[in-house]
């Protein structure tokens, strides 16, 4: 785990969003492929509670980066099967 992969519990950004951002970067860089670590492992690795891990994973599911398969785990969606680009924000 790189220094930039640490969760900052004092930051204004919620920890589940920090987790989602870390995992997104690792997925997009190709560092995370196939099956993701179990929720319990992510809790231990990042020092988070189950609810925070689940919320972070939900953000990635909504973005089309991961998918859960009942009884098997959570997997990274291959790049060619991910949604194409996100609409640009007007901010």
CATH code of 62's domain: 1.10.10.10
Q: What are the E-state strand segments in the chain?
A: 66-69, 73-76
Residue 91 lies in a domain: no
- Structural domain contains residue 44: yes
Helix ranges (H only) for the chain are 15-28, 39-46, 50-62
Task: Answer yes or no: is pLDDT of 63 > 80.
Answer: yes
**Total of domains in the chain:** 1
Find out whether 44 and 2 touch, Cβ atoms under 8 Å. Answer: no
How high does pLDDT run on average in the chain?
Answer: 90
- Which residue range forms the structural domain that includes residue 68? 12-78
Residue 4 has pLDDT above 70, yes or no: no
Angle at CA 62, nearest 5°, toward 71 and 1?
Answer: 75
pTM, to two decimals: 0.85
**Residue 84 in domain:** no
Q: Residue 45: inside a domain, yes or no?
A: yes
Across the range 61-82, mean pLDDT stands at: 95
- Tens-place pLDDT, residues 26-61: 999 999 999 999 999 999 999 999 999 999 999 999
Instruction: Give the separation between CA 30 and CA 82, rounded to whole angstroms.
Output: 14
């Amino acid at each position: 785990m790189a220094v930039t992969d640490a969760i900052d519990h004092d930051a204004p950004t919620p920890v589940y969003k920090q987790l989602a951002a870390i995992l997104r970067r690792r997925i997009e860089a190709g560092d995370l492929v196939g099956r993701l670590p179990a929720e319990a492992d992510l809790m231990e690795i990042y020092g988070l509670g189950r609810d925070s891990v689940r919320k972070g994973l939900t953000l990635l599911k909504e973005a089309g980066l991961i998918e859960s398969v009942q009884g098997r785990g959570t997997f990274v969606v291959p790049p060619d099967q991910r949604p194409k680009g996100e609409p640009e924000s007007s901010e």
